[in-house]
Amino acid sequence: MKLESKIKVPVAKRIPKKLEIHNDTRIDNYFWLNERENPEVVDYLNQENDYYESLTAHTKDFQKSLFEEMKGRIKEDDASVPYKHNGYWYITRYEKGKGYPIYSRKKDSLEATEEILMDCNIEAENHDYYKVRGLSISPDNKLMAFGEDTVSRRQYTIRIKNLETGEILEDSIENTTGSGTWANDNKTLFYTKKDPETLRSYQIKKHYLGTNEKADIIVYEEADETFDTFVYRTKSEKFIVIGNSATLTSEYRFIDADQPEADFNILQERIRGLEYGIDHYNGHFYILTNADEAVNFKLMKASETDTGIASWVPIIDHREDTLIEDIDVFKDFLVVTERNDGLTKIRIKAWDGSQDYYLPFGNETYMAYSSINMDFDTQWFRYGYSSLTTPTSILEFDMQTQKTKVLKEQEVLGGDFSKENYTSERIWATADDGKKIPMSVVYRKDTVLNENTPLLQYAYGSYGHTIDPYFSTTRLSLLDRGFVYVIAHIRGGEYLGRPWYDDGKMLQKKNTFSDFISCSKHLIANNYTSAAHLYAMGGSAGGLLMGVIMNEAPELYKGILAAVPFVDVVTTMLDDTIPLTTGEYDEWGNPNDETYYHYIKSYSPYDNVKAQDYPNVLITTGFHDSQVQYWEPAKWIARLRAHKTDNNQLFLQTNMETGHGGASGRFEALKELAQEYAFVFDLEGISV
């Protein structure tokens, strides 16, 4: 598509900076763009925004209609399924015309008078961005701690509300993760402090109600920069637990929740490569671990009084074909979430051995997950279920009688939606090394599959994070306009178990990228689409994926959507002052090691931009992003403009008010999605 506009293409000035390590020299002409306070940097970002706005002005009305269309499918006056905890039913609800949640509770019965815990619509009134998290109720139900972020850098200030009087107390704790854990004395709050520069969660502190934050006591400090630390309470409510985690290693310590002044006891000291997570039941800790080369994890237990690894007793053995993802502990039952052949399985085991069975799921590609299960003494297990064609349902399962009741089904408004109009399937591509790569595919039944069919291929592929085949109301805007949507379950995620993740990180990271390209080639070869109508989408580490495939196989794609993309991998991983860097050495490798340096450099999107034709590209970012700093996409687009040999569209859209998660508010994010959809629709000549 030829673009005609009077606005000048933004050109970032070049200030060469020599970067040297391992006898290797890189010249970075755009390193200066990391100067957040530099007016020239802000000016350049605004130029890019103006350029984007000007050249997409003809799509603005379409963007608005897409936004209204997507918003119209969502029930505005909606509410979560209430759950009971410590004598109260807790509810999150939304009111029509309002974009933020209202948190409330009812005592004893759902027929009781509603008590508003927090109306985020009121709290957000004077902020461009507002996010609350970590609502934590004291054991006596009289106090609530919560975290607020008004900048979008995930640096939360913890505040405390008196639920009897409605008063917000003077207690204020800055630069935290937002979550707090109460001791049983109802006056001691444990929380996680962040390093102000790197944003690493590095301290657990103890706050006494009514005191100044400066008096708070450090109860644990994590010295290893590759570890984060966190604090929580076991579901049995007996223990307060401090956890420490790196990519490959875990460590936990605990105290009795009745004794907040006690010293924490270590459960099992860290051993590099030993991962474990814990829960508690009836005098024992239940330990999900990879000990003894249990790559897909196994379940063990240890007495409260003898917790070292030598005393761990097997409960569920390791299996080569099944990944144990999580457990839910109840008084009479253990619920185990597993993954086999890419599909989630939920196993129910009675502690007395009388029952052991799996919940029945009958779809080829679906998503199932444990929902909110706060109540320890219950025979009801809550779970969620959806598929690419089936809206999400929250169900409650009686573990004694094995009967199920549906608590809520997601409503799809604003049209004549019927799941019968859509079809989904799971197909497999062949990787360069012969591995079979699964893909989840969905489209309307009346969509004709051929070389002219538009297709959007999505993937993430890092940190062992699995993208399940979930239902999306917004995705209907693609499907109803003739698009096929594909989730590529590439290596780097755990869709096919922990080895699938291990084979897509560190010195095997390139498998992630080649897998995605293999999936694209399979889709083209099997007539789902063609290169003239194939689009790719990914965000954050998925944005890194987009950058690599653009460099290595640009001819396969008509357009690329790269959201908050992690593209300047070498420079970022060499800078340990940047948030997340040190904690990610076991994901990408540490480029201070020469072997990893050269491997990362060989795929880093920014370092491998070259003189060639590139697809049409829309890059989005947030100026306050703490996960992937804004300057990575800013530098990337500047370098792309200087090298690309085509006349295709290349846009950078920076939201100057937000961070990694995009806009706050329930519907504001839909505007960003409408921008992305309008971009690919415009390339397809679709305008309504």
The residues annotated with a catalytic role in the active site are: 540, 625, 660
User: Please, what is the Cα angle at 466 between 464 and 471, to 5 degrees?
Assistant: 165
Element (H, E) at 52: helix 39-55
β-bridge partners, 281: 284
What gap in Å lies between CA 619 and CA 634, rounded to an integer? 9
What gap in Å lies between CA 18 and CA 9, rounded to an integer? 27
| CA atoms 490, 492, 496, 500: torsion sign | positive
Element (H, E) at 435: none
Angle between helices 631-643 and 39-55 (to 10 degrees): 60
Cα 301 from chain centroid? 30
DSSP 111: T
Nearest Cα neighbor of 289 from 322, 334, 249, 254 is 249
Q: Which amino acid is it at 84? A: K
Q: 64 Cβ partners below 8 Å, 6+ apart?
A: 674
Structural tokens at position 639: 């370098």
| CA atoms 398, 399, 402, 407: torsion sign | positive
Structural tokens at position 567: 């593209």
Nearest Cα neighbor of 486 from 435, 446, 434, 521 is 521
Structural tokens at position 48: 């890019």
What gap in Å lies between CA 138 and CA 136, rounded to an integer? 7
What is the chain's Cα-based Rg? 25
| 52 φ/ψ sector (left φ>0, alpha ψ -120 to 50, else beta) | alpha
Nearest Cα neighbor of 592 from 72, 67, 27, 22 is 22
| 255 φ/ψ sector (left φ>0, alpha ψ -120 to 50, else beta) | beta
What gap in Å lies between CA 567 and CA 549, rounded to an integer? 12
Find out whether 604 and 24 touch, Cβ atoms under 8 Å. no
Please tell me the total number of residues recorded for the chain in this structure: 688
Question: At residue 177, what are phi and psi to the nearest 5 degrees?
Answer: -80, -10
What gap in Å lies between CA 401 and CA 423, rounded to an integer? 33
Tell me what percent of the chain is helix, strand and coil, each rounded to the nearest 5. Answer: 20, 35, 45
What gap in Å lies between CA 245 and CA 270, rounded to an integer? 9
Instruction: Give, in order, the Cα–Cα distances in Å from 255 to each of 242, 280, 313, 605.
Output: 9, 12, 22, 46
Q: Which amino acid is it at 65? A: S
DSSP 494: -
Find out whether 269 and 249 touch, Cβ atoms under 8 Å. no
Coil vs helix vs strand at 25: strand
What gap in Å lies between CA 658 and CA 660, rounded to an integer? 7
What gap in Å lies between CA 489 and CA 525, rounded to an integer? 18
What gap in Å lies between CA 596 and CA 140, rounded to an integer? 52
Q: Alpha helices, DSSP H only, in 56-126? A: 60-72, 120-123
Q: Alpha helices, DSSP H only, in 574-653? A: 585-588, 594-603, 631-643
